[in-house]
Structure 1
Amino acid sequence: MVPYVDPKSFSRRRNNNNQVFSLNEKSDVYSVGVLLWEISSGQPPFHAEGEQYDVSLILEISQGLRETIVPDTPKDYIEIYTKCWDGEPDNRPTIYQVVEAIITKTDIVIENPQLLNEQEFSEVPLSTNNSEPRGELSQLIQNFCKMNTNEIDNIAVSNEQEKLLTEEDFNRIVDEINYLIFKLLNKGTSKGELVKEQVIEYLKNYDTNLQEIYNWLLINNQNISNSIFLLGYFNYKGIETRINYKKAFNLFINASENNHILAQYFVGVCYFFGHGIMKNEKLALKYFKTTANKNLTNGQKDTGYCYENGIGIEKDLNKAFYWYEKAANNGNIIAIKNLGICYRDEIGVKKDHYKAFELFKQSAEGGYSGGMISLGYCYELGIGTKIDKQKAFELYLKSANLGNKVAQYNIGVMYENGDVITKDLDKAIYWYKKSAKQGHQFAKNKLEILQKNL
């Protein structure tokens, strides 16, 4: 995406109204200029096999770097696309002027072009064979001219409706995304991908361009810890860039030194999994504890997990219970389920199946798939409640549909055995496959046995 983006959007320059430049119709003209060059060359701009576009390219383009003119390209054609990619938007032609120039330059396009509805410019494949560049170029440009004038009008109108974003707007968006991530982690959203999806959804709902936010973060992440963290998060989750754990870790460390609580938590996560840095369970626990003491419930929950399992410290079930209870009291739905397990299995507290059942129910009602499984298990075996296998099946199914591999395995078992529901080996195999794809070993074993016997 980088070579096609108006370089003005990479800078922090403001207009007379103190507004930071935002993509507009002249930005589209810039992109068209790059595409016209791409048509003449048969390859993407600044393309190098195996290399990614990076910050250095952004800086060079913003300072005036453009692609090299392809030999034997018609002079009039060169003039059109070089005007399109002028560094100053006011010097660029309008989209109408671009189309008009292509239509009227007989040196580069065949006679009698007509505006038709049948084929859009975006549908024309880029050729990698330059043996007949002049003929192919003429055909591709003719296809460009076939764009319906209504399509051009729509481009212009939509861009006129875009608002310039002030620096305050960008900072507000960054702050709100930080708060959204904080809120989701405090609730105990179970899968990191769900947090990522909600961040992306937030930006879509506010009609904010992800690429624009990412580009702004690249340039403006020097001193503001929220921006530093968010750029790290984008790299950690692969939002508008490829996943880069090393870069993410370095950014998290940077922001954590300014006591940014989310950055500190993700430094712990990186140490826990060995993402971008050598795995170090003691340091992971250190960062989890730091955030736990600041009332980040995910930090409290993960601190409890480390104490329960002896990760980075000697096992201490009483401390595990303490941290789970603290996180649960603060509303973390995963910690609520973990606290229920403590009461069910006598981990750091006296066994109480009724208390466990109520906690599992609370976690399940909060939307946590793991809480649904534990509640289903109570109904299946009569833990803290009467046996009700139909309710167990319904809870397992709800959790399975949320993508929980254990629930998917449990549903497979119930279909295989005909427990509560009609026996159905095809459905059993279906659910075992879904669970096995996520790495559930028992599901893999069941799947292998069933498929051998078919």
Structure 2
Amino acid sequence: MSEMTTGQRPFDGHEFDHKLAFKICKRGLRPEFASGTPKCYIELAEKCMDSDPQKRPSADNGYVTISGWQDKIAISNVNKIKVWLEKIAKSSNDNEFKDLLKKIASPYNNEFKNLFNKIDDDEIKDWLEKISYSYDNEINDWRMELASSNDNEIKDLLEKIANNKIAKQFLDADKVIKSLPISKHPDEMYASKIISTKSISKAI
């Protein structure tokens, strides 16, 4: 799991010998994660690497956890959604802005209109980015809810979208991971090595 965040094998740069085994088994040494790795991902990985097997999650628990993340971060037709929503942010005149706005909210919904009237371009861009983390069908539901909901329901809905922290963490992590080198030690390739278990047992 650490390799997926860093692009490097676990313990890259360490000698793969009994000394490393001792550090892992007795001193609790664990591989590092790339800067910006989502907190929820690190927490799951640490549970999987717990020295006590009874505390490690089962395959089913891991599946449920990861499926929960997917439900929050899976995106359908993201580019289409972004392009459509960015038109609102880049609309050049009031009429164009109002026409676009009518597609996602009732023109008679004062709460929603007031919200848009108060935000500047940077805030709109930030808002659009958060919206784009949603499923395509969620966007459709969101549009319909805005057109029919009362003010409090709209506030709750916008807050829910803005607080999609898991999606933001994974998307931010992608930007960091892409900038990392594949391996700090390209001369060290994966290979099966015969290690004396006796020497490891003595060290432990």
Q: Same fold (TM over 0.5)?
A: no
TM-score using structure 2 length: 0.38
TM-score using structure 1 length: 0.18
Task: Return the structure number with greater relative CO, CA threshold 8 A, min gap 6.
Answer: 2
The structure number with the bigger radius of gyration is 1
